[in-house]
Structure 1
């Protein structure tokens, strides 16, 4: 059963089967609860996910409003104001997050190691977050830096939770597994934080050596039991794993803007269906989707599962009744809604001051000219196609590692998800350092390695969906390497084995080639596991440094860079 709340983008109410809407409205909420009197109190949870350092209200940040019109949305100044307004009159409120708050960040945050984002989130009242995969972009030591602080940097004001992030030798978590919010009057809510089990496959292995990521369901159940042993019966999971709204009926009720019911798919469905019934609410992320859904728990009872899009453009408001006698959330009282962070409110003064301070410091670096382009050089519409900017990056990485002393590379490959923004010509074709950074924000190293022709074929076959990935990822290739992708064939046969060519010569299965990829791919990231087998590795420049150096050598106002021609991969 669902009820729409006014002025909200997506809303859902979870009620036991057969419970009438009038009963839900009256039975779950006591008139004195919001003030902490009597047996029941009104809880409020405000949630975000996948913020990715988007503290500035950039022109490119938009979101459809309630009428489906694309409007400017997001920015820490406006998100902070929206959250503050939502908290007004709510005595039992907390603000939480489901990971990827940092990493893959825009220039302003990344230029200072994402310290501005951690400061911003603390200032806007985030009290707890799970880690996501991008919290590990620079390794566990950098995450500890954000948690503990260093020198003049105080670090996070909120706990970063990682219940399923454990030492592979001891099996013990290397981060706090849960946090208990203690409200006035003895009201307690436990939060278990986790990242997706597959995090190890999508971050650089070198930064997480000695760490493994455990099953989400088993971990959540373990700590739910531990919380209940401590007398904490109301439990919320913050999980950096998600799903996708779908139009067909999947048995998982969701609410769309126009009031039509939609279903849900993706990894979170199985996880939510199996997770202990003692868990009351699941706040998710990772897929950058927006949903407020009901997924039945193992006892068959509806349980709310939410996600608030990405980049701070949306936040979720969850309301629930807490019963002082049972010390638990009344499941049938839970309602949720997603709100677009429109910029029609006063910007938060503290956030504006924080952002302005960093902008003053970074302006000189950001505006440095690194090269020129003659036209827009862009990404594809999806990650399942060849696109010009990916080809250019692969060319640059090959060029920077081709010298025998720098790796002796013959081929380079670039993962599509590592290309995060377009290079746009604008009025003068100038490319600044900030723009280049937006394209490649991860600070991966270039790694040149030995691969056999057979391993290169396996790598190309691993572009296809399989056990570890549900979608196609199209590796971008450097000039001189070509092959045929025949979509009429089945499975890995789509990559036509005898079509692989390097500078017009067939790739031989047993011959060894020098191949350059970034350190993320070199560790088997994005489930390109065969790359972890590469031998005789030579680590080179940071990818952004390499790209900047390539632009300095290959472009000028008189000779700007053009978009590479398509067709390196013959798709039929």
Structure 2
């Protein structure tokens, strides 16, 4: 039988104030996922606002949303109304960050979230971008970094996160023990005890540089969470939440309460997680949804995610029976962190000080004009074949940087879609003269990967392209972006391993036995995103002083104004 108390649409008229003793206590849990160091607002496509120009008076633009000042201000307002408020994270709080955070090794973001009073967060895959040792430094503080030129520039006495990262399914390969706490029990102002169990997608080793996580195993998420539930229950907690960096996609909008259209990896996990878990705060897929998924007992349970970059804050209002250690009701919603001039959210002055300092340390670099484009924006969106205008430009830039005889002698360059993080420029940074700054380019490619050129046979090149359709996430594809002169066709109905055909380079068919010099970033070269064939490449030339963003900005400067390429390199049939 369905448990009506768990329905998101139920509103029970929660009391105006929390009562001590035997009465129910109202608790608010706020969740932030996939912040990615976005200390300042960015465009939220979920809400459109008028943005008229002389040329297009009817135009609309994405609402400016997120940013530490607005998020902090909202948290303050909720906490003032109800001291029994907790702020938690769904992972990817750092990594793939814009200049304001990345050039300072994401320390301002960790400090900003700590000052907001965040208590715990799931690990995200991007927390592992710089390897385990650097992640431990982000947690615990200090300046012994693998990027000493960036570390402790924001604060010479960087103290680490005051919140705790959680990872029930991340264990040391040798000992088998978790490298971060699996869970933490938090106590609210009124004494309500809520356990938060954390997990990260088990696919992490395929989507970060493999060398950075070589000592770790990433176990099944649901099994790992369930392992600790009996231990948690034995401690007499009042509620159990999961914070997990794995998610799905829903057809319903972010503000549709109780949606049932959720699909993706999170469904199997949610259906297997112990019924004692009251709600699941998710992340990773950069979606906004507020859905219900049946637990193993058949009761509907909330699974929620708040878009990305702080555009939405997940809010779960609980009514808790402390005497009997149970949750009486939960109401969930996604709240827009409106940062427009019309916002009613008061900025947090502590966060303003952090943002102001970070901007002061990075604005000069960020604002440097490096080139122009021929249109207001070059977009990263893929067409039906999986080709992207911005992806093509990036691949072209990497080919241009490595085609010389002393720099790789490359004839083809390939770029992973996940490495293209924003349009060029972001919708909030379009300039009247179509100029592009270093900050715009860095926002597109914030990882700091370096270029590597390898030799592949024509057969290996085809095998790499076939791996685009062998994605660990069922029903998805992972399309590489290709440089100018290289073309191919793929057939949707063809079986796996035989989808790709008609490979040509400058009009000449690719010879399976011939050798071709191919440039990729070091993430792909190590087999990232499941493209393991790259690891078999020979005559490897790693260029540690040639980053992807350096190649990108050099191309934008040398070819200004850069036009959006015609999408004819990949054909689907």
What CA deviation, in whole Å up to 9, does each residue of 1:38-97 have, x standing for no partner? 253222211111111111124x3454289x996432222111111221223323221111
Q: 2:492 and 2:475 mapped to 1: Cα distance?
A: 17
| Aligned partners of 1:377 and 1:388 also within 8 Å | no
Could you say what secondary structure the match of 1:462 adopts? helix
Please give the root-mean-square deviation of Cα atoms over the aligned residues, in Å.
Answer: 3.0
| Aligned partners of 2:18 and 2:190 also within 8 Å | no
Q: Residue 429 of structure 1: CA displacement?
A: 4.0
| Aligned partners of 1:162 and 1:194 also within 8 Å | yes
One of 114, 121, 124 as aligned partner of 2:113:
121
In the alignment, structure 1 residue 515 sits paired with structure 2 residue 518: yes
One of 202, 207, 216 as aligned partner of 1:202:
207
Q: 1:390 and 1:32 mapped to 2: Cα distance?
A: 52
In the alignment, structure 1 residue 40 sits paired with structure 2 residue 24: yes
In the alignment, structure 1 residue 481 sits paired with structure 2 residue 482: no
| Corresponding residue for residue 51 of structure 1 | 35
Q: 2:259 and 2:195 mapped to 1: Cα distance?
A: 31
What CA deviation, in whole Å up to 9, does each residue of 1:324-374 have, x standing for no partner? 3333x32x4122122111231222211112111121221211122323333
Gaps of 5+ in 1: 3-12, 248-254
Mapping 1:244-393, distance limit 5 Å: 244-246=249-251, 257=255, 262-327=260-325, 329-330=326-327, 332-343=328-339, 344=343, 345-376=345-376, 378-382=378-382, 385-393=386-394
Residues 256 and 370 (structure 1 numbering): CA distance in 2 closer, same or farther, change over 3 Å? closer
| Aligned partners of 1:62 and 1:72 also within 8 Å | no
Q: 1:549 and 1:375 mapped to 2: Cα distance?
A: 18
Q: 2:105 and 2:28 mapped to 1: Cα distance?
A: 32
In the alignment, structure 1 residue 87 sits paired with structure 2 residue 79: yes
Q: Residue 160 of structure 1: CA displacement?
A: 1.1
| Aligned partners of 2:265 and 2:473 also within 8 Å | no
| Corresponding residue for residue 190 of structure 1 | 195
Q: 1:453 and 1:209 mapped to 2: Cα distance?
A: 30
TM-score, with length taken from structure 1: 0.87
| Corresponding residue for residue 252 of structure 1 | none
Residues 57 and 485 (structure 1 numbering): CA distance in 2 closer, same or farther, change over 3 Å? same
Q: Residue 488 of structure 1: CA displacement?
A: 5.8
| Corresponding residue for residue 9 of structure 1 | none
What CA deviation, in whole Å up to 9, does each residue of 1:350-403 have, x standing for no partner? 111211112122121112232333334623433752223222211221222233
| Aligned partners of 2:449 and 2:547 also within 8 Å | yes
Q: Residue 198 of structure 1: CA displacement?
A: 0.7
Mapping 1:90-105, distance limit 5 Å: 90-105=82-97
Q: Residue 522 of structure 1: CA displacement?
A: 1.9
Q: Residue 129 of structure 1: CA displacement?
A: 0.6
| Aligned partners of 2:76 and 2:348 also within 8 Å | no
In the alignment, structure 1 residue 240 sits paired with structure 2 residue 240: no
Could you say what secondary structure the match of 2:454 adopts? strand
One of 119, 136, 140 as aligned partner of 1:144:
136
What CA deviation, in whole Å up to 9, does each residue of 1:481-522 have, x standing for no partner? 2222344645443311xx112233322223332211112222
Task: Give the stretch that moved more between structures: 513-522 or 129-138.
Answer: 513-522
| Corresponding residue for residue 532 of structure 2 | 529
| Corresponding residue for residue 5 of structure 2 | 15
Q: 1:182 and 1:257 mapped to 2: Cα distance?
A: 29
Q: Count the aligned residue pairs.
A: 540
Which aligned segments of 4 or more residues in structure 1 are displaced greater than 6 angstroms? none
TM-score, with length taken from structure 2: 0.86
Gaps of 5+ in 2: 50-59, 144-156
Residues 89 and 81 (structure 1 numbering): CA distance in 2 closer, same or farther, change over 3 Å? same
What CA deviation, in whole Å up to 9, does each residue of 1:88-107 have, x standing for no partner? 33232211110111112222
| Corresponding residue for residue 5 of structure 1 | none
| Corresponding residue for residue 400 of structure 1 | 401
| Corresponding residue for residue 233 of structure 2 | 228
In the alignment, structure 1 residue 179 sits paired with structure 2 residue 184: yes
Q: 1:36 and 1:62 mapped to 2: Cα distance?
A: 43
